[in-house]
Chain A
Amino acid sequence: MSVFLSSPLMHNIFAGLAQGVIYSLVALSLVIIWQSTHVLNFAQGAMAMFASYIGMTEIDRGLNYWLCLVLSIAIGFLFGGLTERVLIRPLYGKPEINAIVVTVGFLGVIEAVAQAIWTSTTRNIATPLSQIYFHDQGRIVLLSPFVLFQFGLALAIMALVAVLFRFTNVGLKLRASALAPEVARLLGVRVNRMLTLGWMLSAGVGAVAAVIIASGSFGLYPSDMDGILIAGFIAAVVGGLDSPVGAVIGGLLIGLAEQFVLAYWSADLASLGGLIILVVALMIRPQGIFTTSVSRRV
């Protein structure tokens, strides 16, 4: 058993899952927005990056790591809500292309502003948790206290989102506003407020992903989230853009696929692992693997 944990196969699985939970979080955040407003937010990664960078700046001024995490999430909330109110709300009822173009433009602005403030170099958040991998009979096991924390945090966030959507009154209103806005409005749900809340939650979840990346050994640079957003998007599409569970599983799948391409084919082509899965998934089941809704006849 112990030899098994340090085997090359398990190395790849641990590394793949560690990357995969990040994709899962990003995919989940995309799905939350998609469910509530049917907008695919291309600025999601950049918004998360910005929130975590503000948290990072405060850490440099002596803030505690845990408070930085909370601060980043709070800024994510605020940022998400503001974005929905100012940029996205005028676009409801307009062609889909308008929202795509606006979020792509927002992505450009945020990245350029972040580079102007913090330069394009990689930054790292020092964690109180050790990044040193466990050893087992002298052989490395690709897990560290930080990686375990990363898994735990991601799981906790996912569980929180699930509980919120399934078992709370607010969650019911959120789902109602997404599914049948007119009916929900007639029944006294403040639909607009729910849409804003959806964006806030989503940006908060995204911020957690960015803080995890920045805390890892490779750190985070302003355009770093571009690739992660693409992987998260692929995960969300593979799982079905309206299925949070599918998004999480899709994220883990993409993380593993990339790691196995990296290990057994080529490090340069790692990001193609996800693309291959995407193309195959779209050919077989374009509406997503875990989706339940009826596909639109077009």
Chain B
Amino acid sequence: MKWLSSIVRQEKTSARLLGVLSLTVITLAITFILPPVADSQLAGGAAIAIVILGLSWLIGWSGQISLGNSGFMAVGAYATGIWAAHHGSTPLIFTFFLATVVGAFSGLLIAIPSTRLRGPYLAGMTLAFSAAVSPIAQNYTSVTGGEGGLFFNTLNTPHWFLNFFTGPNATINANAQWTADLAVIVAGVSFFFMANLFHSHTGRAMRLVRDNDVAAELVGINLPRTRTLAFVVAAAFAGLGGSLYVLINATVTPSTFPLTLSITLLTLMVLGGIGTLSGAVIGGIIYAFSTNLISHLNSLTGINPTSNLGANMQGIIFGFLLIVTMLFAPHGIAGLGPRIRNRVRALRQVASASTGE
């Protein structure tokens, strides 16, 4: 548990707490302004942001690529669903804890055969895992509800929160906002944890393993254990995100987590910026409002949204963005800021050098 204490005992922890806290409070304030539909979308985005953050940690910090995070999400989601079906009245915090632990455990299971693999082998292995989850869910009908899935209604809006709302759609508005606020708070806690993990002893060890595993081994870092830990943390985040994701929709089915979701997660992470907190936030925001953006784009270009092309617009644009970002701006949107700053600084140096002559 040394790594856990090393996360907490740091000088800049308070600064990170302040940063995450203020961002969370601002987002909570925004949920009051947004219409109910946007609130629900924001909740989904927050859940996905947690998953992206885990993936970002795995790929950006430990250098291991996974296409299986939708599988880890499904594990957390089913843990939530199965638990809710039997013990609907347990406090939410316990449900989240359970989903996180079960997700982490699935990550451990996958990590054992996977962490010896590199690059493409690992990507394929994790892809095969995520493809196996929905057949398993389909097969064990008595536990998972099979094709029809599970339904649960665990996100009950408390009475004191309902009292804030009046008018004809009071309950609907309150539910949407309660969901969004809850998701934002869970995301805030996750981001705070990851921000500290990034700058902990474990985080630095992880980067060394990624950049030079021989050097890492020489300074006494246990490679298999470090790589496994990266997977476990990523899977825990995916499990938590998956749990939140299905709690918002109040249902989980085998088709909730298709293979394309893994592609979407990868796209959002790359687009936001690999290995950064802000990248995961950007990814979550894009996810939340992508349907709006796409339908706006459809209306701008005059594409019928119910036509074949309109329905597949998101797939085409996401895939295209993934390729273009990787080819031309591999650090994503979060990497654009430093890149422009460097460019400006270089130009300024050139300018001052020429005037100094």
| Residues on A facing B (Cβ under 8 Å) | 34, 39-40, 42, 87, 90-91, 96-102, 104-113, 115-117, 119, 223, 226-227, 230, 233-234, 237, 241, 266, 268-272, 274-275, 278-279, 282-283, 286, 296, 298
Contact = CB atoms under 8 A, between A and B. Distances in A.
Q: Give the interface SS of chain B, mostly helix, strand, loop or mixed.
A: helix
Contact of B308 (A111, A117, A268): A117
Nearest to A110: B319
Given A233-B124, A269-B139, A113 B131 contact: no
7 cross-chain pairs, A with B, having the tightest CB-CB distances, nearest first: A112-B315, A108-B319, A105-B322, A40-B120, A109-B319, A96-B119, A268-B139
A110 B322 CA distance: 13
Contacts of B267: 105, 108
27 contacts: A34-B120, A40-B120, A96-B65, A96-B119, A97-B119, A98-B326, A100-B119, A101-B270, A101-B326, A104-B67, A104-B266, A105-B266, A108-B267, A112-B319, A115-B308, A115-B315, A116-B308, A119-B308, A226-B259, A230-B124, A233-B124, A234-B128, A272-B135, A282-B114, A282-B125, A298-B118, A298-B213
Interface of B: 59, 63, 65, 67, 113-114, 116-121, 123-125, 127-129, 131-132, 135-136, 138-139, 213, 259-260, 263, 266-267, 270, 308-309, 311-316, 318-323, 326-327, 330
Choose among B59, B309, B319 the residue with the greatest number of A CB atoms under 10 Å from its CB.
Answer: B319
Contacts of A237: 121, 124-125
A102 B139 contact: no
A155 to B, nearest CB: 26
B315 A102 contact: no
Contacts of B312: 112-113, 115-116
Given A100-B119, A116-B308, A230 B135 contact: no
Nearest to B64: A97
Given A116-B309, A268-B138, A230 B131 contact: yes
A113 B316 contact: yes
B119 A102 contact: no
A34 B320 CA distance: 24
A99 B124 CA distance: 13
A101 B119 CA distance: 11
A31 to B, nearest CB: 12
Contacts of B323: 87, 102, 105-106, 109
Contacts of B113: 279, 282-283
Given A40-B124, A269-B136, A116 B316 contact: yes
A81 to B, nearest CB: 17
A99 B65 CA distance: 11
- Among A101, A271, A278, A283, the most chain B Cβ lie within 10 Å of the Cβ of A101
Contacts of B65: 96-97, 100
B233 to A, nearest CB: 18
Nearest to A46: B319
B263 A108 contact: yes
Contacts of A283: 113
A108 B260 contact: yes
A100 B129 CA distance: 17
A225 to B, nearest CB: 11
A108 B315 contact: yes
A271 B137 CA distance: 13
Nearest to A90: B327
Given A109-B316, A226-B131, A97 B125 contact: no
